[in-house]
């Protein structure tokens, strides 16, 4: 097993795309292939499995939902030259949308995935039918973003067991139920040294501070340029996106809808949240 392998028994991707450089981008899909398409984009340090509940819900409702592993995450290839700049993610997204065919997909992105989607659509790199931003806005709270980055940087030397992984996640999300080790197995890889590591390329974190400092200048005009149906979703207890940041986005994009999810923080897609699922279904029905 190589340094980037998923754990034995964890599900293999059901679909693979290629970007312009030939890198493999792994994905899972739900629902009829001829249904309205929804592309699900995870946050930084996560992978396609964070969307499995939403993907199944969309598939059962007749949508063709595709959850993508971003470059350097999950079962997708790591960048050979360590390129995890914003434009690289946007170019990958454009390649996947092109591979999906002529039908314009709805884009649903959490955190980093939402940033990529907003830039891709707002700057004209991708044509989409609708946009859902999940706990992300042009402006984010410095303290909350720093806490996310600190968590990603935690235990870069790996974990001795899956129980240690579960303890680390529980410490980051106080007040939530400690996850099962079986569920967390999808989020780690097994190194040649026998230790467990987060299932993403450590080089992904390089340059993150620079991106956060400069992306606001791109996201504001991208939000202002939106003309497609849009929904911004915020976890009511999020420390990454404030109510003020949502209102700022709504001023930039007055036609957008807003959903504030009670009892949820920044990791909305990883929680079992019926209100989020049903509200996004209703939004997509209106958008289509």
CB atoms under 10 Å from CB of 63, counted, come to: 23
Domain that holds residue 134: 15-140+206-287
In a domain, 228, yes or no: yes
**Whole-number pLDDT of residue 9:** 80
Domain presence at residue 237: yes
Which pLDDT tens digit goes with each residue over 127-147? 999 999 999 999 999 888 888
Query: How many domains are there within the chain?
Result: 1
240-256 pLDDT, tens digit per residue, is 999 999 999 999 999 99
Provide the pLDDT for residue 262. 83
Q: What are phi and psi of 21, to 5 degrees?
A: -90, 0
CB burial string 34-59: b at 16+ within 10 A, e below: ebbbbbbbbbbbbbbbbbbbbbebbb
Domain assignment present for residue 103? The answer is yes
Task: Look at residue 263 in the predicted model and tell me its pLDDT.
Answer: 76
123 is a domain residue: yes
Classify residue 148: in a domain, yes or no.
Answer: no
Full strand arrangement of the beta sheet holding 230-235: 15-18, 24-30, 64-68, 37-41, 106-110, 130-134, 230-235, 257-261
In a domain, 279, yes or no: yes
pLDDT tens per residue across span 70-127: 999 999 999 999 999 999 999 999 999 999 998 899 999 999 999 999 999 999 999 9
CATH number for the domain that contains residue 72: 3.40.50.1820
Q: Is residue 191 part of a domain?
A: no
What does the alpha-carbon distance between residue 255 and residue 58 come to, in Å, rounded to a whole number?
A: 24
Residue 31 lies in a domain: yes
Segment 185-220, tens digit of pLDDT: 999 999 989 999 999 999 998 866 556 668 899 999
């Amino acid at each position: 097993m190589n340094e980037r392998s998923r754990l034995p028994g964890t599900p293999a991707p059901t679909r693979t795309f290629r970007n312009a450089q030939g890198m493999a981008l792994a994905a899972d899909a739900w629902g009829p292939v001829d249904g309205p398409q929804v592309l699900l984009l995870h946050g930084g340090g996560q992978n396609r499995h964070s969307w499995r509940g939403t993907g199944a819900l969309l598939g059962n409702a007749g949508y063709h939902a595709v959850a993508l592993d971003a470059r350097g995450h999950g079962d997708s290839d790591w960048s050979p030259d360590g390129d995890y700049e914003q434009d690289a993610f946007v170019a990958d997204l454009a390649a996947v949308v092109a591979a999906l065919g002529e039908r314009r997909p709805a884009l649903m992105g959490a955190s980093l995935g939402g940033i990529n989607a907003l830039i891709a659509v707002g700057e004209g790199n991708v044509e989409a039918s609708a946009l859902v931003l999940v706990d992300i806005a042009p402006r984010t709270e410095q303290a909350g973003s720093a806490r996310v980055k600190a968590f990603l940087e935690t235990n870069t030397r790996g974990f001795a067991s899956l129980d240690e992984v579960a303890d680390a996640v529980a410490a980051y999300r106080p007040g939530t139920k400690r996850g099962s080790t079986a569920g967390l197995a999808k989020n780690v890889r097994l190194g040649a040294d026998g230790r467990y590591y987060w299932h993403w390329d450590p080089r992904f974190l390089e340059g993150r501070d620079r991106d956060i400092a400069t992306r606001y200048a791109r996201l504001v005009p991208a939000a202002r340029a939106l003309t497609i149906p849009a929904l911004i979703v915020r976890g009511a207890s999020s420390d990454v996106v404030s109510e003020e940041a949502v209102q700022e986005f709504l001023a930039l994009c007055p036609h957008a809808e807003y959903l504030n999810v009670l009892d949820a923080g920044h990791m909305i897609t990883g929680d079992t949240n019926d209100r989020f699922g049903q509200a996004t279904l209703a939004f997509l029905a209106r958008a289509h």
